[in-house]
Structures are given as structure tokens and as C-alpha cells.
Amino acid sequence: MKKTMIQAINKQINEELFSSYLYLAMSAQFEDISLPGFANWMRVQAQEEISHAMIFFNYLVERGARVELAAIEKPEKEWKSPINMFEAAYKHECYISECINKLMDLAVKDRDYATQNMLQFFIEEQVEEEASADDIVQKLKLMGDAQGAMFMLDREMGQRVFNPPTKGE
């Protein structure tokens, strides 16, 4: 693997770990405002992001490259409302999609076919991630200020469980 690709994947590990921190911060706020189902959804999302970081980590190890962990940026800790949190989550997933696309651009430029193959999982995953966050944004918009609907959606969010990805682990 070229040095630039190793550095880029190490940076993506950091992005994925930051994503986990971000979702944990959102989970904490949902707990504070007594929406445990939303808090659960965010904790599951945090676990998923850690598993993504580990796929990249394991990939570097398998390729004989050095994993270099960097400090993880502190996430925001306060949002105005549940919809603001999910809009922020959606925006963040769009950012992560762009990061993955840049990795793919580099892999194509370097003719690094193994990395292109590995990244295909993340390209498909990001379509899911964006759609999932946007779906909740749209539901929250439809609900408006309906407290009963918020309660029902919170119960639905509490049903989410972590299903580790099979790619790379």
C-alpha cells in the first residue's frame, strides 16, 4: 500500500471514532431529556461506528501497514431539539460519505484494487446511514409538536439493536 493510502485510512479510523463520540454525546442529551429510546438508537449507532473503525483498523493490519491512532476531537454536547440532533446526524453522515468517496478516489488513482474492494462495503453502508438518519428527520418533521407521536417514536427507537457488520471482522 502506498503511504498516502495508509495515512488516509488512519485518518478515516479517527473519523469513525469521532462519529462514535458524536453519537454518544447525542445519546447523553437524549437521556437528559427523558427520551431513552432515542438514546438507545444513538448508542447503537455509536457501536456501529466503532465497528467501522475496526474494519479499517483490521484492514491496515492485514495489509501489513501501521495503524496510527490520533486524538479524537471533542463533539458538541448540546442541541436545541431531537430534530436538530437528527439533522446534525444526517449532515455528519453526508460528511462521512464524502470522506469514503475521497478514499475511493485515492484508491482508484493509486490502482489499489484491494482497497477499492474493501471500500465498496462502506459506499453501500453510507447509503444506508444517510437514509436512516434522514428517515428519522422526516418523521420528526411530520410529528411536529405531537407529544404522543414523540412517545411512540421513542418506543420504536428503543427497539434498535446492534448487529455487527460481517465485513472485515
Measured between alpha carbons, how far is 16 from 75 in angstroms, rounded to an integer?
13
Domain 3-73+80-157 belongs in CATH node 1.20.1260.10: yes
Percent of the chain with pLDDT over 90: 94
Sequence-distant (6+) residues with CB within 8 A of 62 are none
Reported as a pLDDT band with limits 50, 70 and 90, residue 169 is very low
Q: How far is CA 45 from CA 20, 94, 123, 127, in A?
A: 7, 15, 17, 15
Stretch 78-88: mean pLDDT: 97
pTM for this prediction: 0.93
Spatial contact of 45 and 92, defined as CB atoms under 8 Å apart: no
Reported as a pLDDT band with limits 50, 70 and 90, residue 166 is confident
pLDDT of amino acid 110: 97
* Cell numbers at 23, concatenated: 453519537
pLDDT in tens, 32-44: 999 999 999 999 9
pLDDT of amino acid 167: 56
The neighbour count for residue 142, using CB atoms within 10 Å, is: 10
Stretch 101-116: mean pLDDT: 98
